[in-house]
Amino acid sequence: MKRNTPLFNGILRHIKQKKVGFHMPGHKGGLGLADDFKAYMPLLDVTETLGMDNLHFPQGEILKLQQKAAEVFGGDTSFILVNGSTCGIHAMMLAACRPGDKIIISRDCHRSVLSAVVLAGLRPVYITPSFIEEYGITGCCTPDQVRQALAMHPDARAVLVTYPNYYGLCGYLRDIADTVHLYGKLLLVDGAHGAHLGLSPNLPEDIASCGADMWVSSIHKTLNGLNQTALLHVKGHRVDVDRLCTMVSMVQTTSPSYILMSSIDLAVDKIAREGEGMMQILLEKVKLLRRGLEGIEGLKVLGREMAGRFGVCALDPTKVTVKTGDIMTGYQMEEQLWHKWGISVELSAPNHLMLLTTVFDDFDMYGYTVDAFRKVVGKYGSRPGDGAGCPAAVADFYTTLPAMGEGIMPPRQAVLGPTTAVPIHQSAGRVSAALVSVYPPGIPLLCPGEVVTRDGIEYIEYIKKTGGSIVGLRAEEELLVVNDR
């Protein structure tokens, strides 16, 4: 009988078509994986037999790896994560807070943060970053916003911010840490996209140096770990590490993959030995890639001119965000690059797309990539000038979000209480019981416990209409709402 393997076959077709990948995982199709790791991979799939240690009670080789990771990333204690940064975010929020506690959260957080809010029964206070309309993305929360939120909510247990964000924008994290600690609170950081920041003084300051109490680092995003590999770090005296150990164990599988853990081991070792030199080469190559893209009429590349504006302190140049809106949508540009050139990008959006570069890229393909962009633009034409900013449906949604807000119902109550499904176009005024986001990057559009607005509906409908991917709606474009009628 012929094999029926739709996923496996689909991956093989993707591999055959792809010529260059500007997306995670950061090992870039195995270029960053050690030869002996690839050769022994099937045999590395072991379990907690004698001599193999135990992730949930490490005393041997796993403990040594965690100690090495703490040294490399600047923490006092580090934990291996095989469920991705998602489980690290869950663990640190469960460790920092008790059910019913308030937590101040940047509204551009990843959807995993909202999942943790529901699981832990927390009451989120959202602070909304400024909106960069030209690119249709959010900036960063400012120390003043954090200070105002703490002054208005002195009973909040912790503050959670993202650094860097999906596009490589970094806020004033050191100042935020000082503010949070002045109020006697914990600072948690979703640093999933910043595992590489300590490899060069020409990158934004790394999280450990800025004073965070707990943070996650995705080893698979910007380094060379396999998908799902990540680390959780603790620094300082403010965190109850024993409680955190309990929470980490609760949110991790009891059958951890030794392939994934070995991948973390090799990645940490690689960057400790060679990371700085490799990053220097990447930054030089990315500078040429950016220059090539900026030289194409009709395109614009997000750059360090954002520093000092929109709450941005610095930009990670390894994230290359290209504004395409003067020519076509980011979704259309992604289609052209993939189907005609075999170039796969990390993210596309209504008026931009983003290329994720790492030290394991095939740098010979950077020129090929610039040439592909140039030919797509040449075929479809450019409209010189600043062009329009992001579409009105996107701008209207972000610019009408309150600077600070709590929702009208605790998210856990909204999700776990009585719900009903309604067509999305009929949901205005109802309380959302769903977490709805554009994916990637996974930033929430609708949060559980919030009132659905007409602007939010129009944004969702626009994304679906133009080719984006929405996560959180039910079949037939229905939204789960609180059954309050």
What is the pTM assigned to this prediction? 0.95
Confidence of residue 395 (pLDDT cuts 50, 70, 90): confident
Q: Count structural domains, the chain.
A: 3
Average pLDDT over residues 202-229: 98
Last residue of a domain, one of 244, 268, 292: 268
The mean pLDDT of 154-183, rounded to a whole number, is 98
CATH code at position 249 = 3.40.640.10
Residue 185 three-state SS: coil
Whether 296 and 261 map to the same domain: the answer is: no
pLDDT (tens digit, 9 = 90+) per residue, 34-62? 999 999 999 999 999 999 999 999 999 99
Average pLDDT over residues 340-354: 95
269 token code pair: 């070792």
pLDDT at 385 over 50: no
| pLDDT tens digits, 82-131 | 999 999 999 999 999 999 999 999 998 999 999 999 999 999 999 999 99
Pick the closest to residue 444 from 113, 23, 90, 102 (CA basis): 113
**Residues 410-432 as b or e (16 or more Cβ within 10 Å = b):** bbbebbeeebebbebeebeebbb
Inside any domain, residue 395: no
Separation in Å, CA 370 to CA 48, 291, 293: 48, 9, 6
Answer whether residue 389 shows pLDDT above 70.
no
42: containing domain: 35-268
For residues 135 and 257, state if they share a domain: yes
Is residue 476 scored above 80 in pLDDT?
no
Are 111 and 194 members of one domain?
yes
- In this structure, the answer to whether residues 141 and 98 fall within a common structural domain is yes
- Tokens, residue 405: 């807000």
Q: What is the pLDDT of residue 461?
A: 87
Amino acid at the residue 122? L
**Angstrom distance (rounded) from CA 369 to CA 388:** 25
Burial annotation 365-401 (CB, 10 A radius, 16+ → b, else e)? bbeebbebbbebbeeeeeeeeebebbbebbbbbbeeb
Arithmetic mean of pLDDT, 162-189: 98
The answer to whether position 389 is within a domain reads: no
Instruction: Say whether pLDDT at 384 is over 70.
Output: no
Q: Are 263 and 253 in contact (CB under 8 A)?
A: no
21 and 45 housed in the same domain:
no
414 lies in the same domain as 326: no
How far are the Cα atoms of 49, 89, 129, 157, 187 from residue 178, in angstroms, in the given order? Answer: 45, 21, 19, 16, 9
Position 176 pLDDT exceeds 60: yes
CATH of the domain at 439: 3.90.100.10
DSSP state of 339: H
Q: Are 434 and 414 in contact (CB under 8 A)?
A: no
Identify the domain boundary among 239, 268, 297. Answer: 268
Q: How far apart are the first and last CA of the chain?
A: 54
Distance of alpha carbon 87 from alpha carbon 74, whole angstroms: 20
